[in-house]
């Protein structure tokens, strides 16, 4: 080996050692994603971020590897109306009453207060009819009947939330295979 070979070897060894020593400091500056799982979270939690209490917050967490554009549809149903089809990745065919649209950076979360109120409900025998629902102060006509549930002793409805994500390839929002809901016991005592 000549002097030039030793110098090249010395520079390469010094550079390698420098990178090894600097790696902990670089990891604080350069984000390193562990694993390749990309996913989004959707939740409906109370004021203390527990599944209890009223008012609720609807929230979304982004773990997709980049900023994403989301939409959350709010829908209302009785016990017999369809939820999203998890086996076919299809949203519920029920019309949305309310929607949230927002961007979330990778690793960040979005959360919004959700206020809802049943404005018009009536009971006649074994049937209940909900005419209007208010979501965040906006009234919506739902015209939704329900039959008495003798197994659970009540009338039940569900407010549920579907997560949609903007797809760059198709340039459209698509159902993102996530939904969450809250059952409402409308039993009159």
* Residues 179, 161: Cα–Cα separation, whole Å: 5
**Same domain as 180, residue 96:** yes
Rounded to two decimals, what is the model's pTM? 0.78
What pLDDT score was predicted for residue 56?
Answer: 85
> Quick one: tokens of 144?
């939704």
> Quick one: tokens of 96?
């949305």
**Same domain as 21, residue 85:** no
Query: How many residues are present in the chain?
Result: 189
Name the residue range of residue 60's domain: 39-185
Range from 5-19, 53-67, 132-146 that averages highest in pLDDT: 132-146
CATH of the domain at 48: 2.60.40
- Of 90, 106, 113, 108, residue with least CA distance to 164: 90
């Amino acid at each position: 080996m000549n002097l030039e070979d030793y110098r090249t070897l010395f520079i390469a060894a010094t550079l390698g050692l420098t990178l090894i020593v600097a790696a902990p400091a670089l990891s604080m500056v350069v984000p390193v994603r562990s694993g390749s799982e990309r996913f989004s979270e959707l939740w409906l939690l109370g004021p203390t971020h527990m599944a209890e209490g009223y008012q609720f917050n609807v929230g979304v967490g982004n773990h997709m590897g980049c900023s994403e554009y989301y939409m959350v549809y709010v829908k209302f149903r009785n016990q017999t109306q369809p939820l999203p089809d998890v086996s076919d990745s299809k949203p519920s065919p029920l019309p949305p009453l309310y929607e949230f649209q927002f961007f979330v950076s990778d690793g960040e979360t979005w959360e919004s207060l959700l206020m809802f109120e049943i404005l018009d409900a009536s009971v006649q025998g074994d049937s209940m009819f909900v005419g209007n629902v208010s979501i965040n102060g906006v009234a919506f006509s739902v015209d939704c009947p329900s039959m008495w549930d003798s197994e659970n002793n009540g009338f039940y409805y569900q407010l549920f939330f579907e997560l949609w994500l903007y797809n760059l390839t198709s340039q459209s929002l698509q159902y993102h295979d996530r939904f969450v809901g809250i059952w409402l016991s409308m039993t009159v005592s």
